[in-house]
Structure 1
Amino acid sequence: METIRWVERDRDHEAEWHSESGAPVPGRVVVADDTMTADAAMRLASRGTATLWRGDYHNARQLLKAMDRRIERRASPRQRGEVTFAGHRAERTQRATLMAHLVVELGPDRSLDLRRAPDVREACLAAYGPGSGPVVVALSELLGVIGAHQWQTKGVYVPALGASIHPAYGVFSPVRGEYIDLVANAPLAQPVPRTAFDLGTGTGVLAVVLAQRGVERVVATDINPRAVACARDNAQRLGVGDRVEAVEADLYPDGRADLVVCNPPWLPGEPTSDLEAGIYDPGSDMLRRFLSGLAEHLEPGGEGWLVISDLAEHLGLRAREELLGLIDDAGLEVVDRLETVPRHQRASDAKDSLHAARRAEVTSLWRLTVAQGRQSAR
């Protein structure tokens, strides 16, 4: 636990500092209200000074939007038109860092004591758990917590399930349904596999799909405790809790399965927060470990399903030859590859700096088996 300190009305104050992105405690804090301008807030943020908001909640949101517009205008024409992945990430990181300097204080009960503020206690308790004292967080993070709680409460409708999945805060939401459709429609061996592993389960959506398709026992693993609890909750909600077992594990559980499904983060790169862990896979580590460990975790005649986009290839982050080499080195062979194109809004947004890569993106389900020589060696 880190502590943030400031002076307000000639008195020293302190609170717990919380940042999901791991941002350091601001070295200096200025208390501000509705008289604070966006230009002034930007100057403070540029110097590493946090603005602790005591004014109207809706005015704080407007101030955050105004800061965002100024950050956009400050970018050079080249930066605004940057199409490289490195430039895109650098711009987003800088933007997030500056905007995170507008902060608010939550009470010990996770309440937000600002004029016209909504009741955020339930959302904050779901994300952070109960508190023992006041805590200071970035307003941008708090807005994310509120939005995530709305998704968790309302759910995300998944056509392949004919039902909704309820993503918890900090768990990657299945808003891109095309990869789910691939798992829902890929041909299953006959008779239907008795056991399956779903590695990196997240919300548990793929584990539920497999259970609904008739798999008797699905072990869903994730290294994130929030995801394990979320997957367990969704399996229970959708009536397959008796067949889906969600466990905390670093990829593979013990034993073997007839079918192993893995949907690793699609982009090689270092996540800057736990929230990005579902997007970035450092050094393609999860992908490599899934492939290298597949043969020893498959029952004879079993299949591994790798669900992955080729966006990394279009961004120059990984070559197709590298993926094929990893498959070959693991003693695996490709039985089939099912493909689909993205349907999300950014794929058709010409203003997106990565538009060309997103427009060309293809998501695939690679059906893998143990190569014949490797199978006989077992």
Structure 2
Amino acid sequence: MSERTHAPEAARTSAPAQISWLEDGTPRSALWRSESGWPAPATVLLGDEDLTAEAAFSLASAGTAILWKGDFHNARQLLSAMGRRLADSPRPKNDNITAAFHRSREDALRRATILGMLLVPLAADGTIPLRRSPDIRRAASHVWGAVNEASVLSLRELLGVIGADEWRTTGVPVPALGARIHPHYGVFSPVRGEYLDLVATAPLPPDAATAFDIGTGTGVLSAILASRGIRSITATDMDPRAIACARENLETLGYADSVTVVQANLFPPGRADIVACNPPWIPAIPKTATDFAVYDDDGQMLAGFLSGLAEHLTPRGEGWLVISDIAERFGLRSRGDLLDAIDDAGLTVIARMDTRPTHARATDATDPLYAARAAEVTSLWRLAANPAS
């Protein structure tokens, strides 16, 4: 579960797209916004309270988007009603957990695709020109900066923007810090405290004074290490939003003098006494924006961390790999694969600290992946470079 969450590459690199529709027989167009990287729908119809949930669901399932012109609260109710019409794929007899995992991902992608077809307008001043709409100007500025052009986006994504702004304002309590972390939009929120407790309690290497935090995200691991007395920490991330988020959190917590946040692919130059990393836990291709916190395409980040770790450790330094065994329980990676990768990188396992997750999905017996989630173990692997490395 990485501290980083990225939108798909298309969303970060392609030129601004336009979306077009007819209104009272007149062609209209606006900027298309999609942090998730979805292309602008080719077919768009206008909708309001005269549109039934059944008709809206049918249109969306066929690839036709609905640009809402009615009451904002009614749009939210319509989105919920459309969601209730989505059923998970039937589970075949003798289905194994790996097949169930892949099927659940396809179901999630189908849900995101269909529900993403209900659209809302955003005015050039950052307001929503619909009846009873909330004031989202602050949330919009946090995500897009100055909004100065009319645009259209999916209601589902807009609700995510609003929710992220609430998280950013209220923060997430981190007992290991005795403080709150304030995640920004698009940056993974540290809501699973069990792995933070591992970092807060793992034995420090002798005379440890320096650390690298690889894929820092909100900066929470850097803050925990700083609170434990590590005097010089370099935190890295590739995502500009994560860089800004980490800097803001560390400044608020009073650790800005101890932690330098830099944009880098994995490691900064040099060596450190502790090199910590919490990569995405599941080696699978991300399909939606929120996937990038959890899915590591072909395990690339994990492989990069392990292969480069030895050359970035001080003689008595340790690499702290924080990872769950959920990929093993889904049949996507074996424990032998992980141990072989550690060995091939010239590393040895000093010790491993284990804990059980306490999140709600681990106790939800209706989840088709419940058996794997209930047995999941989160670990902090303490790694050292082999003397010959």
CA contact (8 A) 2:65 2:119 kept: yes
1:95 aligns with 2:108: no
1:248 aligns with 2:263: yes
Among candidates 335, 345, 349, match of residue 334 of structure 1 = 349
Secondary structure of the residue aligned to 1:124 is: helix
Among candidates 319, 328, 336, match of residue 334 of structure 2 = 319
Distance in 1 (CA, whole Å) between partners of 2:267 and 2:379 is 22
Q: Residue deviations 1:73-124, cap 9 Å, x none?
A: xx45327999521101000000110000000010112211111111011111
Structure 2: where are the runs of 5+ without partners? 1-15
Secondary structure of the residue aligned to 1:290 is: helix
The equivalences for 1:353-368 within 5 A come to: 353-368=368-383
Name the TM-score, length of structure 1 as normaliser.
0.96
CA contact (8 A) 1:171 1:275 kept: no
1:55 aligns with 2:66: no
Structure 1: where are the runs of 5+ without partners? none
Among candidates 120, 137, 158, match of residue 104 of structure 1 = 120
1:303 aligns with 2:351: no
CA contact (8 A) 2:140 2:147 kept: no
Q: Which residue of 2 aligns with 1:127?
A: 143
Among candidates 291, 298, 305, match of residue 276 of structure 1 = 291
The equivalences for 1:344-359 within 5 A come to: 344-359=359-374
Per-residue deviation, 1:71: 1.0
Name the TM-score, length of structure 2 as normaliser.
0.93
Identity %: 55
**Residues 51 and 79 (structure 1 numbering): CA distance in 2 closer, same or farther, change over 3 Å?**
farther
The equivalences for 1:165-314 within 5 A come to: 165-191=181-207, 193-314=208-329
Q: Which residue of 2 aligns with 1:156?
A: 172
Distance in 2 (CA, whole Å) between partners of 1:82 and 1:47 is 31
Per-residue deviation, 1:190: 2.8
Distance in 1 (CA, whole Å) between partners of 2:289 and 2:226 is 28
Distance in 1 (CA, whole Å) between partners of 2:205 and 2:273 is 9
Distance in 1 (CA, whole Å) between partners of 2:96 and 2:245 is 37
Among candidates 69, 85, 90, match of residue 77 of structure 1 = 90
Secondary structure of the residue aligned to 2:339 is: helix
Among candidates 24, 33, 40, match of residue 25 of structure 1 = 40
Distance in 2 (CA, whole Å) between partners of 1:79 and 1:244 is 51
Distance in 2 (CA, whole Å) between partners of 1:257 and 1:273 is 34
Per-residue deviation, 1:361: 0.3
Q: Residue deviations 1:213-245, cap 9 Å, x none?
A: 001111110111100100000000000011111
Amino acid at match of 1:85: F
Secondary structure of the residue aligned to 2:124 is: coil
Runs of 4+ in structure 1 deviating by more than 4 angstroms, as ranges, are 79-83
Amino acid at match of 2:108: R
Distance in 1 (CA, whole Å) between partners of 2:286 and 2:145 is 23
Distance in 2 (CA, whole Å) between partners of 1:109 and 1:273 is 28
Distance in 2 (CA, whole Å) between partners of 1:213 and 1:176 is 20
Distance in 2 (CA, whole Å) between partners of 1:290 and 1:11 is 55
Q: Which residue of 2 aligns with 1:114?
A: 130
Distance in 2 (CA, whole Å) between partners of 1:77 and 1:268 is 25
Secondary structure of the residue aligned to 1:4 is: strand
Number of equivalences: 371
**Residues 25 and 82 (structure 1 numbering): CA distance in 2 closer, same or farther, change over 3 Å?**
farther
Per-residue deviation, 1:43: 1.4
1:142 aligns with 2:158: yes
CA contact (8 A) 1:305 1:367 kept: yes
Distance in 1 (CA, whole Å) between partners of 2:299 and 2:96 is 24
**Greater RCO structure (CA 8 Å; 6+ sep):** 2
RMSD across aligned C-alpha pairs, in angstroms?
Answer: 1.4
Distance in 1 (CA, whole Å) between partners of 2:284 and 2:239 is 18
